[in-house]
Amino acid sequence: MSDRQLTDGSPVPEDGSHTKLRSDGQQVGYVVLTPEERAKGFIQPVRNKYVHKTCGVVTRMGQSLSETYARDPWFYSGTFCVGCGTHFPLEEFTWDGTTESLDPKDWSDEKIAQVQAAKKARKEKTP
């Protein structure tokens, strides 16, 4: 059984049809970790708002997307901007109210060490 599904709970289509864009620029479906996988705990805070550095608009994520990112910050490579109506790489966004990039590649060595330690601690707690 896969640890991934779409936000609506359906299986991830093998044909990639969920990545087709709707008229508003968003995908038909987005991949998230299953509730069982997310229930294993988070290595980052669960946050649901981020800012596009280019246009300054705040975008809100649904809970399952937010929890997936908090469980595995390396899961996504890009995200959607409601202001621009399209997807961009994570490096173009910061968490709302912070200067912290959504992209782990932009994190300080100290931040990466903290997240890796949290990830290791979660793994040790998982049976």
Neighbours of 81 (CB within 10 A): 22
pLDDT tens profile 53-81? 999 999 999 999 999 999 999 999 999 99
pLDDT tens profile 76-111? 999 999 999 999 999 999 999 999 999 999 999 999
Q: So what's the pLDDT on residue 123?
A: 73
pLDDT (mean) for 4-33: 97
Q: So what's the pLDDT on residue 124?
A: 67
Q: Are 55 and 70 in contact (CB under 8 A)?
A: no
Q: What is the torsional sign of CA 109, 113, 114, 116?
A: positive
Q: Please give the model's pTM, rounded to 2 decimal places.
A: 0.90
* pLDDT class of 125 with cuts at 50, 70, 90: low
* Distance from C-alpha of 97 to C-alpha of 14, rounded to nearest angstrom: 37
**DSSP collapsed to 3 states, 80-95:** EECCCCEEEEHHHEEE
